[in-house]
A = this chain, B = another copy of it.
Amino acid sequence: MSSSKLLKGSLATIVLKLLEENEKMYGYEITQRVKEITAGEFKITEGALYPTLHKLEAEGMLSTETQKVDNRIRKYYSLTKEGNAEAQTKVAELEEFLLNLHKLLNPKLGMG
């Protein structure tokens, strides 16, 4: 995420969520999808993404499958059963975190 080196720690959750929605994506595709959804504001760097994917795979959250398309290799990632559960958990955690952050940024509401 290069946009402004803002929040760290959300990349793995973002990846898991995208794979929950799409059941099969390759690295480059993930970077483009995120860029697209955020109107160019999040730019996931390869230096951040690939280590994250490898780590999730090593933890058993993702399985891989390579395909050769147009003479270029694509490494597709999908959620394992465990990865699916992890996605649920991580997304829920992140959403709760966002809620709390919101409370901190908007103290008027709820305080009076």
Contact = CB atoms under 8 A, between A and B. Distances in A.
Given A42-B100, A98-B101, A107 B37 contact: yes
Copies in the complex: 2
Contacts of A103: 37-38
A97 B3 CA distance: 9
Among A6, A8, A41, A95, chain B packs the most CB atoms within 10 A around the CB of A6
Interface residues of A, number: 31
Interface string A1-30: 001111111100010011001000000000
Contacts of A38: 100, 103-104
Contacts of A95: 105
Interface of A: 3-10, 14, 17-18, 21, 34, 37-38, 41-42, 91, 93-98, 100-105, 107
